[in-house]
Structure 1
Amino acid sequence: MTGPTVAVPAGNTLGEGVLWCDREEVVYWTDIAQSKLWRYRPADGDVATWDMPERLAAMALCEADGWLLLALASRLAFFHPESAEFRYLHSLHGVRADCRANDGACDRQGRFVFGMLHEPTEGPKQPVAPFLRLNADLTLEVLPLPTVAISNSIAFSPTGDTMYFCDSLQKQILQCDYGDTLGDARLFTDLRHEPGEPDGSAVDAEGFLWNARWGDARVVRYRPDGTEERSLRMPVSQPTRPVFGGSSRQTLYITSAHDGLDDLARAAEPLAGHLFAFDTGIAGLAEPRFAGDPNSLPPRAARGTSAENS
Structure 2
Amino acid sequence: MTAGARNQQAALLLDTKCELGEGATWCARSGRFYWTDIEGARLWRYDPADGRSDSFSMPERLATFALCANPRYLLVGLASQLAFFDLETGGTQRIVDIEPGINTRVNDGRCDREGRFVFGTKDESGRLQPVAGFYRLNRDLSLERLPLPAPAISNSIAFSPDGATMYYCDSPTREIRACDYRADGGIANDRVFTRLTDATGIPDGSTVDSDGGLWNAQWGGARVVRYGPDGVETERVDVPTAQPSCVALGGPALGRADGDVQLDTLYITSAYAELDAAARAADTLAGGVFVATLARRGVPEPVFQGAPV
- Asked whether the two chains share a fold, i.e. TM above 0.5, the reply is yes
Does structure 1 residue 167 correspond to structure 2 residue 173?
Answer: no
- AA aligned to 1:105 is R
Q: Which residue of the partner structure matches residue 137 of structure 1? A: 140
**Contact persistence 1:13–1:31 (CA under 8 A):** yes
- AA aligned to 1:153 is S
Q: Which residue of the partner structure matches residue 96 of structure 2? A: 90
Does structure 1 residue 154 correspond to structure 2 residue 157?
Answer: yes
Q: Which residue of the partner structure matches residue 51 of structure 1? A: 57
Q: CA deviation at 1:4?
A: 1.5
Q: Which residue of the partner structure matches residue 288 of structure 1? A: 302
CA 1:203–1:279 in structure 2 vs 1: closer, same or farther (change >3 Å)?
same
**Contact persistence 2:246–2:269 (CA under 8 A):** yes
SS at 1:230 equivalent: strand
**Contact persistence 2:67–2:74 (CA under 8 A):** yes
Q: CA deviation at 1:184?
A: 3.3
Q: CA deviation at 1:85?
A: 2.0
Q: Which residue of the partner structure matches residue 266 of structure 2? A: 252
- AA aligned to 1:11 is K
Distance in 2 between residues matched to 1:91 and 1:58, nearest whole Å:
15
- AA aligned to 2:303 is R
Q: Which residue of the partner structure matches residue 284 of structure 2? A: 270
Choose the corresponding residue for 1:79, options 73, 81, 85.
85
1:160-239 to 2 correspondences below 5 Å: 160-179=163-182, 180-191=185-196, 194-239=199-244
Q: Which residue of the partner structure matches residue 66 of structure 1? A: 72
**Contact persistence 2:8–2:236 (CA under 8 A):** no
Q: Which residue of the partner structure matches residue 301 of structure 1? A: none
Give the gaps of 5 or more residues in structure 2. Answer: 1-6, 252-260
C-alpha RMSD of matched pairs (Å): 1.2
Give the gaps of 5 or more residues in structure 1. Answer: 298-310
Q: Normalised by the size of structure 1, how large is the TM-score?
A: 0.92
- AA aligned to 2:64 is A
Q: CA deviation at 1:124?
A: 1.0
Q: Which residue of the partner structure matches residue 24 of structure 2? A: 18
- AA aligned to 1:287 is E
CA 1:186–1:271 in structure 2 vs 1: closer, same or farther (change >3 Å)?
same
Query: How many positions carry a matched residue from both structures?
Result: 292
**After TM superposition, where is structure 1 displaced by more than 4 Å over at least 4 residues in a row?**
none
**Contact persistence 1:170–1:192 (CA under 8 A):** no
Q: Which residue of the partner structure matches residue 308 of structure 1? A: none
- AA aligned to 1:31 is D
**Contact persistence 1:152–1:167 (CA under 8 A):** yes
Distance in 2 between residues matched to 1:183 and 1:93, nearest whole Å:
24
Q: CA deviation at 1:2?
A: 5.9
